[in-house]
Amino acid sequence: MTVAVDIEEVFVLHRSGVRGIAALQGLSLRVLEGEIVVVAGPSGSGKTSLLRLLAAMDAPSAGRVSVHGADLGLFTAQDSDAYRATTLGILDQHYARSLSPDLTCLQSVALQLDLAGADPTSNREIALELLERVGLADRAESLPGALSGGEQQRVAVCAALVHRPRLLLADEPAGELDEESAENVYRLLGELVRGTGATAVVVSHDPASEAIADRLVRIRDGRVVEESTPGSPSQLVVGRGGWVRIPEPFLRDLGAPQRLTATPGTDSVVLGGRGSGAASATSVPTPSEPVAAHVPQINERMAEMRAIAKRFGDRTVLSDFDFSALGGRFSALVGRSGSGKTTVLHILAGLELPDAGEVVLGGEPLHGSTRDELAELRRRHVALVTQEPGLVPYLSAFENVELGLRLRRAEGDLAASVESALREVGLSDRLHIAAARLSAGERQRVAIARALAADVRLLLVDEPTARLDEANGRAVGHLLAEAAHERGLAVVAATHDPDLVELADKVVQLGG
Amino acid sequence: MSRARAPLVVAAARLRAHRGRALLVALGVSATTALLLGVIGGSLIARDRAVARQLTALPAADRSFRVDAFGLPAGEKYDAADGQATAALHLLAPGTPLRASFFRELRIDHELTQLAGLDNLAGLVVLRSGRLPQSCAPARCEVLQIGAAGDPRLDEGDIHLVRVGVADLRDRAVFGTSLDTVRIGGEAPVLLLADGRHVFDTLPAFDGIFRTYGWIAPVDPNRLHVWDISRVLERETRAQGDLARAGDVFRLSGPDQALLDARASGRASAQRLALVGGEGSALLLGFAIVVAVGMRRGLANERRRLRQRGASGRQTFLAAAGEIGTLTLIGTLLGVCLGVAAVALLARRAGLPAGGVLGHSLWSPTAVGLIFSAWLVSTGVLIAAATMREGDMPMRRLGLLDVAALGALGAVVLGLARGGLDSTAASTGGTRVLLLLLPGLICFVAAVAVARLLQPLMRLGERAARRTSALVPRLALLALSRSPARTKATAAFLVVGFGLALFAASWRATLERGARDQAAFQVPLDVTLTEGTQLVQPLDVASIDGYERLAPGVKAFPAVRRLADVAGEGASVASPTLLGLPAAAIGSLHWRSDFSNVPRNELARRVGKDGPAALRGVSTKGGVASVRVALAGDPVQLDLVTLDRDGNVGTVTLGEHAAGTFLATAKLPLATTEIVGLEISLSSSTLLGYTHRNAEAETSSVPGGSVALGRLAVNGKKVTDWHGFVGRHGLQIRGGGALRASYAFTEGQTMVLRLPQVTDGRPLQVIASPEIARSAGPDGSLVLDVQGTPVPATVVGVADRFPAAQEQGEGFVVADESRLRTVLDADVPGSGTPAEVWLATPDQASLDAALSRPRFAPLDRASRVAIERALVSDPLARGITIALGVAAVLALALALLGFWIALVSELRDERGELFDLEAQGVPPRILRRQLRVRAALLLAFALVVGAVLGWVLSRLVVAVVRSTAGTIPADPPLQLDLGFGLALTAVAAVLAGAALVVELTTRRAFSGSAPERSSWSLE
Give B729-786 pLDDT, tens digit per residue.
778 887 655 678 887 777 777 888 888 888 888 999 999 999 899 888 888 899 998 8
Could you give the C-alpha distances from B735 to A404, B628, B678, B754, in angstroms and in order? 111, 17, 17, 15
Taking CA–CA distances from B928, the nearest residue in chain A reads: A372
Provide mean pLDDT across the span B674-689: 81
pLDDT for residue A90 is more than 60: yes
Q: For residue B792, is it left (φ>0), alpha (ψ between -120 and 50) or beta?
A: beta
Q: Other CB atoms closer than 10 Å to residue B925's CB: what's the count?
A: 13
> Does the structure show a pLDDT above 80 at B509?
yes
For position A5, what pLDDT does the model report?
Answer: 94
**DSSP single-letter state for residue B492:** H
pLDDT of residue A313: 73
The answer to whether A2 and A32 have CB atoms below 8 angstroms apart is: yes
Q: What's residue A469's pLDDT?
A: 66
Asked if B9 and A116 come within 8 Å (Cβ–Cβ), the reply is no
Residues 6+ apart with CB under 8 A from A84: A55, A56, A90, B307, B308, B309, B310
pLDDT one-digit tens code per residue, A93-152: 777 778 888 999 999 999 999 998 889 999 999 999 989 988 888 989 999 888 877 788
The answer to whether residue A503 scores a pLDDT higher than 80 is yes
Predicted pLDDT at B435: 64
pLDDT digits (tens, 9 = 90+) for B813-854: 999 999 999 998 888 888 888 889 999 999 989 999 999 988
Query: Average of pLDDT values for B704-726?
Result: 88
Other C-beta atoms within 10 Å of B809: how many? 9
CA distance A377 to chain B (A): 7
Predicted confidence band of residue B1012 (pLDDT cuts 50, 70, 90)? low
Contact A384/B at CB under 8 A: yes
Q: Are A107 and B1010 an interchain contact pair (Cβ–Cβ within 8 Å)? A: no
Which letter does DSSP use for residue B226 in this model? G
Range name among B17-21, B215-219, B244-248, B935-939 with the lowest pLDDT average: B17-21
User: What is the CA angle A204-A209-A214, rounded to 5?
Assistant: 105
Return the higher-pLDDT residue of A409 and B399.
A409
Looking at CA atoms only, how far is residue A300 from chain B in angstroms? 22
Distance CA A462, CA A392 (A): 19
Q: Which residues of B touch A120 (CB under 8 A)?
A: 5
Tens digit of each residue's pLDDT (9 = 90 or more) over B585-628: 888 888 888 889 999 999 999 999 888 888 889 999 889 999 99
Across A415-419, B639-643, B923-927, B954-958, least confident range:
B954-958
Q: Which residues contact A191 (CB under 8 A, 6 or more apart)?
A: none
Give pLDDT, residue B1018.
25
Place B1015 in a pLDDT band, splitting at 50, 70 and 90: very low
pLDDT more than 70, % of chain A? 91
CB contact (8 A) between residue A117 and residue B3? yes
Which residues make beta-bridge pairs with B126? B168
pLDDT score, position A290: 42
Omega of the bond leading into B972 within 30 degrees of 0 (cis): yes
pLDDT at position B625 is: 92
Integer Cα distance of B97 and B109 in angstroms: 33
pLDDT digits (tens, 9 = 90+) for B273-329: 767 777 777 777 777 777 777 777 788 888 888 988 888 888 999 999 999 899 889
pLDDT of B426 strictly over 50: no
> Would the CB atoms of A100 and B302 count as touching at under 8 Å?
yes
Confidence of residue A285 (pLDDT cuts 50, 70, 90): very low
- The percent of residues in chain A predicted with pLDDT above 90, rounded, is 31
Which span out of A28-42, B135-149, B210-224, B795-809 was modeled with the highest average pLDDT? A28-42
The answer to whether residue A437 neighbours chain B at the CB level (below 8 Å) is: no
Its pTM stands at: 0.72
Rounded to whole angstroms, how far apart are CA atoms A426 and A422?
6
Task: Note the pLDDT of residue B429.
Answer: 42
pLDDT tens-digit readout, B968-1007: 667 787 788 877 787 788 888 888 998 898 888 887 777 7
The identity of residue B616, as a single letter, is R
- φ/ψ region of A310 (left if φ > 0, alpha if ψ in -120 to 50, else beta) reads beta
pLDDT at A288 exceeding the cut of 50:
no
How many CB atoms are closer than 10 A to CB B684? 11
Q: What is the pLDDT of residues A432-470, one digit of tens each?
A: 888 877 777 788 889 989 998 988 889 999 888 766 666
The per-residue pLDDT for range B854-908, each reduced to its tens digit, is 888 888 899 999 988 888 887 777 777 777 788 788 888 888 888 888 788 778 7
Q: Please check whether residue A355 touches B, CB under 8 A.
A: no
Mean pLDDT of B75-100: 85
User: Does residue A295 have a pLDDT over 50?
Assistant: no
Contact call for A372 and B916, based on CB within 8 A: no
Report pLDDT digits (tens) over A218-274. Answer: 998 889 999 999 888 888 998 878 888 888 778 777 777 878 888 888 888 888 765
Give the β-pairing of B140-146 and B636-644: unpaired
- How much is the pLDDT for A428? 84
Residue numbers in A near B2 (CB within 8 A)? 117-119
Question: Where does the pLDDT of residue B1017 fall: very low under 50, low under 70, confident under 90, or very high at 90 and above?
Answer: very low
Q: What pLDDT is attached to residue B961?
A: 66
In DSSP notation, A205-255 reads --GGGGGG-SEEEEEETTEEEEEE-TTS--EE---TTS--PPPHHHHHHTT
> Does residue B964 have a pLDDT over 70?
no
Window 119-148 of A: residues touching B by CB (8 A cutoff) are: 119-120, 143
Per-residue pLDDT, A166: 93
pLDDT for the residue numbered B423: 46
**What single string gives the DSSP state of each residue in B512-557?**
HHHHHHHHHHHSSSSEEEE--TT---HHHH--HHHHHTSSTT-EEE
Q: What is the pLDDT of residues B33-74, one digit of tens each?
A: 887 888 888 888 888 887 888 788 787 777 888 899 888 887
Rg (CA), chain B: 40
Closest alpha carbon within chain A to B3: A117
Residue pair A325/A304 in contact by the 8 Å Cβ criterion:
yes
Of A214 and A44, the structure prediction assigns the larger pLDDT to A214
B434: pLDDT strictly greater than 90: no
